[in-house]
Chains A and B, each alone.
Chain A
């Protein structure tokens, strides 16, 4: 509680109260404005989108953008598909595939690691391993980008070339996960932030509850499943939501490690589409003519920023839905941990 309940009638406190409310409203507006603009742009016609100054409300609301996107997703639109590497549902499916495995592998691994660190390890060992995991949070992502990239090339080795077994010509066995979805999934399976979140929560469970369950005869896993897990639902909600939005909106890393266009997640593909759309360059006159013609077709079909906005909405929709579905647990979890 920012302000005490007592003394709300004091003029100074009342003014301060309304100032805070105004400040928060401003914050909310600033956060929601991009979404608002995205939404209205998706209903504008192709010409109105490029109009300057921009309009705050679509003057001639049209569903052209949405219709176009439906056909794009189906892969039916021939004109736009020349700019894309496949029907758009493929990329959504890629996103789903990546996110699914990040959650299915990541949440159990992270939470069990945190549980083990909190309740099963003790003494200096627990302390050191905790510091090690938390230490990974201190590492800026840019710093690990190149080593991680090299790791995906020759999996256990972060080297450009696989070293040879000393004294022979044979290379060490290595796996090339580069250009597969696993290269995107594996590096974020263990999330130090979620580890911290889980560990913080598990630390609040009294040891005596775990000990009572041990005396009752529960195996360590059964204790975790039957006693700890039901208590931790809000924390899981926060962690799952964080991992979900993180994995779904990933951009830079998949762009680097995925090479085959059909393997891109939707987040990257939207960007690529945008790039091609705005910077359609050409090598020679023939190509230029062909492209100009294609462009004309696309534009006449209504493809413009409005279509991209629709894709953007579709892209951010799952995160919204996930938030609304587990809103109550999320709020409880956030209150519980005082986070974010």
Chain B
């Protein structure tokens, strides 16, 4: 178990081409990333593809060396220590099993290269098979090419935990599985992480998965970590527009608006709402952008604005339906009760306690609702 500190890491990949193109020079894969992971904590790193999240993982694992900055395990600088000596366990998106070895050989490779005794190897493999649960035993005798994706990933995870790593690194471990298996494996990984309490970095592009796995979530964009925090912190107090729109599914509706003496109007439409007094005094006058999450709309209030319904999506498990429409140029998603009657137009008002305000020409927030105090 280890405490991980990543300090101001910059990593720029050497261009594959002989002649550098302008776009390749444009931006480093990691641009001053700092991240602190406490002992036993799981941090999910989430971001769209190409944002540098896998590179961050490779730098932590030692598979890539940063151009500048430091990586510390338990306060010791390991920036340029080879991955062989770091004692981390890594799970890859494509499982990366050794194709020429059976499942057992995959698990035993670590003990083989570390000159451990045959007995220890066998004992550890057996222990791991027990920890991994039902049906793992018979995967050990098969070659990876005969295993299904889910089975391969189980072997890969087994290979990762067999030597008690001080740090788990997971690079989109379940995104190659089909939806049902993904659900199942996700629960299993979560159970293992809780059971061992090993420090974990979990990279994914799926925010649901990130929320499910991580004690904290780091949102990355273009080689920079935009915000780290618990789900509630990211959801209710985003540091900028990007985090606000990235977290939450369906995403937040953002539309341009104009604030003037207690009234919000949406240009190019006839929508306008009265602001509550406190909010009206807090906000600057002039153009802003308003963000409203699907559950942040109030339906059918007196001063509501009518919006044409484009289509309705019902999700019975969440006892909700999502109504899609347009407000000016912006897409609007509204959460409604699952039995909400279908109609051509809904009348909406933002719930101002749950509304977000952002600067019109930047990403900084002017007003966020803050973490709800439920108790």
Contact = CB atoms under 8 A, between A and B. Distances in A.
A226 B92 contact: no
Contact of B63 (A123, A206, A214, A216): A214
A219 B113 contact: yes
B84 A209 contact: no
A124 B14 contact: yes
A211 B90 contact: yes
Given A211-B92, A227-B98, A230-B100, A216 B15 contact: no
Contacts of A123: 13-16
Q: Report, as a range, how many residues of chain A touch the other chain.
A: 20 to 34
Decide if the interface of chain A is mainly helix, strand, loop or mixed: helix
A209 B96 contact: yes
A215 B89 contact: yes
Interface string A117-144: 0000011100110000000000000000
Contacts of B100: 227, 230-231
A208 interface: yes
Given A127-B16, A211-B63, A212-B90, A219 B96 contact: no
A18 to B, nearest CB: 38
Interface string A203-239: 0001011011111111100100011001100000000
A128 B159 CA distance: 37
Contact of A215 (B16, B18, B88): B88
Contacts of A216: 109-110, 113, 159
B98 A215 contact: no
B83 interface: yes
B113 A209 contact: no
Nearest to A124: B18
Given A208-B94, A212-B92, A231 B99 contact: yes
B63 A209 contact: no
Interface residues of B, number: 34
A81 B100 CA distance: 53
Given A208-B92, A208-B94, A214 B83 contact: yes
B99 A209 contact: yes
Contacts of B112: 226
B18 A127 contact: yes
Contacts of B85: 217
Interface in B55-111: 58, 61, 63, 82-86, 88-90, 92-94, 96-101, 109-110
A228 to B, nearest CB: 9
Contacts of B92: 208, 211-212
B15 A217 contact: no
Contacts of B88: 215
A209 to B, nearest CB: 5
Nearest to A211: B63
Nearest to B114: A217
Contacts of B110: 216-217
Interface string A178-222: 000000000000000000000000000010110111111111001
Contact of A127 (B17, B113, B114, B156): B17
A282 B88 CA distance: 81
A213 B85 CA distance: 12
Q: Taking each of A206, A215, A218, A226, which has the highest tally of chain B beta carbons within 10 Å of its own beta carbon?
A: A215
Contacts of A226: 98, 109, 112-113
A244 B261 CA distance: 90
Contacts of A222: 113
B18 A128 contact: yes
A208 B100 CA distance: 15
A95 B27 CA distance: 58
Contacts of A206: 94, 96
Contacts of A209: 96-99
A219 B17 contact: no
A199 to B, nearest CB: 15
Interface string B200-217: 000000000000000000
Nearest to A223: B113
Given A226-B109, A227-B98, A215 B90 contact: yes
Nearest to A205: B99
Contacts of A212: 90, 92, 96-98, 156, 159
Given A209-B99, A216-B159, 16 more contacts: A124-B15, A127-B17, A128-B18, A209-B98, A211-B61, A212-B97, A212-B159, A214-B82, A214-B83, A215-B61, A215-B88, A215-B89, A217-B110, A217-B114, A230-B100, A231-B99
6 contacts: A127-B17, A209-B96, A211-B96, A214-B83, A218-B113, A226-B98
- Across the A-B interface, the 9 shortest Cβ-Cβ residue pairs: A123-B14, A230-B100, A208-B96, A212-B96, A208-B92, A215-B90, A214-B83, A218-B113, A217-B84
